[in-house]
């Protein structure tokens, strides 16, 4: 029984890792082109988390599907608003992905360092969000290529034994993904940026 549950968990973990790699590579190589999609998705995820979390805490004696429905409604509303309010969506999206990439920085585990980590993530979020609104195309390309490349390399290390066993390959793969992602996005979005 325990072995079969562990096997299911391992399969789900593998599927999740493969999906993470695919999304990270899309972000790395097509982040700017898919910006409206990413913005809507980020808004929807934030809306669902907020709607579900708030309703789950405040509606204690109700069935679970009610907070889920409230979360779905909040996701649809916030996803739509993020799509319509483009610059606000750009701010939140770029801030979120830069902040999530900052969580990969290996801080020590002591409680003092957890406060430092939270401050660094918050500052990265704000800095990336403000820059992305001011210099839209350039910053979005840099943020999506860097964070997508880092996330893809980090997740690929879980899938590919040579990356997991030899830690010197990881930074090389990360740099390769980031550099090619930046180059491809800048080359493929010149005319696309003028139409926006």
Residues 52 and 146 in one domain: no
Task: Note the pLDDT tens digit of each residue in 27-64.
Answer: 899 989 888 888 888 788 888 888 888 888 887 777 87
Q: With 0.85 as the threshold, say if the pTM is over it.
A: no
CA-CA distance, 27 to 100, in Å (whole number)? Answer: 13
Q: Assess whether 161 and 136 both reside in one domain.
A: yes
Contact, 43 vs 90, CB < 8 A?
no
Residue 103 is predicted with a pLDDT of 80
Q: Which residues contact 12 (CB under 8 A, 6 or more apart)?
A: none
Q: How many structural domains is the chain composed of?
A: 2
Task: Based on the fold, state whether residues 152 and 58 are members of the same structural domain.
Answer: no
Rounding to the nearest 10 degrees, give the CA dihedral for residues 97, 18, 46, 27. Answer: 40
Instruction: State residue 2's pLDDT score.
Output: 63
- 155 and 58 in a common domain: no
What integer pLDDT is reported at residue 115 of this predicted model?
83
Q: Give every residue of the chain whose pLDDT is below 50, as ranges.
A: none
Round to whole Å and give the CA distance between 169 and 142.
22
Write down the pLDDT at residue 5: 64
Give the domain range for residue 189: 2-33+86-195
The pLDDT of residue 160: 82
C-alpha 148/C-alpha 139 separation (Å) is 14
The per-residue pLDDT for 181 is 95
Instruction: Answer yes or no: do 7 and 103 share one domain.
Output: yes
Name which of 81, 78, 56, 58 is nearest 69 in CA terms: 56
Whole-number pLDDT of residue 185:
93
If asked whether residues 28 and 39 sit together in one domain, one would say no
For residues 10 and 52, membership in a common domain is answered with no
């Amino acid at each position: 029984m325990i072995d079969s549950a562990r096997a299911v968990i391992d399969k789900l973990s593998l599927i999740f890792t493969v999906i993470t790699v695919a999304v990270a590579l899309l972000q790395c190589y097509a982040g700017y082109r898919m910006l409206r999609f990413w913005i809507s998705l980020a808004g929807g995820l934030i809306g669902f988390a907020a709607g579900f979390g708030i309703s789950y805490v405040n509606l204690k004696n109700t069935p679970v599907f009610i907070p889920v429905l409230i979360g779905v409604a909040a996701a649809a509303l916030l996803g739509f608003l993020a799509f319509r309010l483009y610059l606000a969506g750009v701010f939140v999206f770029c801030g979120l992905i830069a902040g999530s990439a900052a969580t990969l920085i290996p801080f020590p585990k002591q409680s003092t360092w957890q406060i430092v980590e939270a401050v660094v993530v918050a500052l990265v979020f704000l800095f990336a969000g403000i820059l992305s609104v001011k210099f839209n195309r350039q910053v979005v390309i840099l943020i999506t290529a860097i964070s997508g490349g880092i996330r893809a390399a980090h997740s690929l290390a879980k899938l590919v034994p040579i990356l997991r066993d030899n830690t010197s390959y990881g930074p090389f793969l990360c740099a390769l993904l980031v550099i090619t992602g930046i180059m491809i996005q800048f080359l493929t979005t010149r005319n696309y940026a003028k139409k926006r």
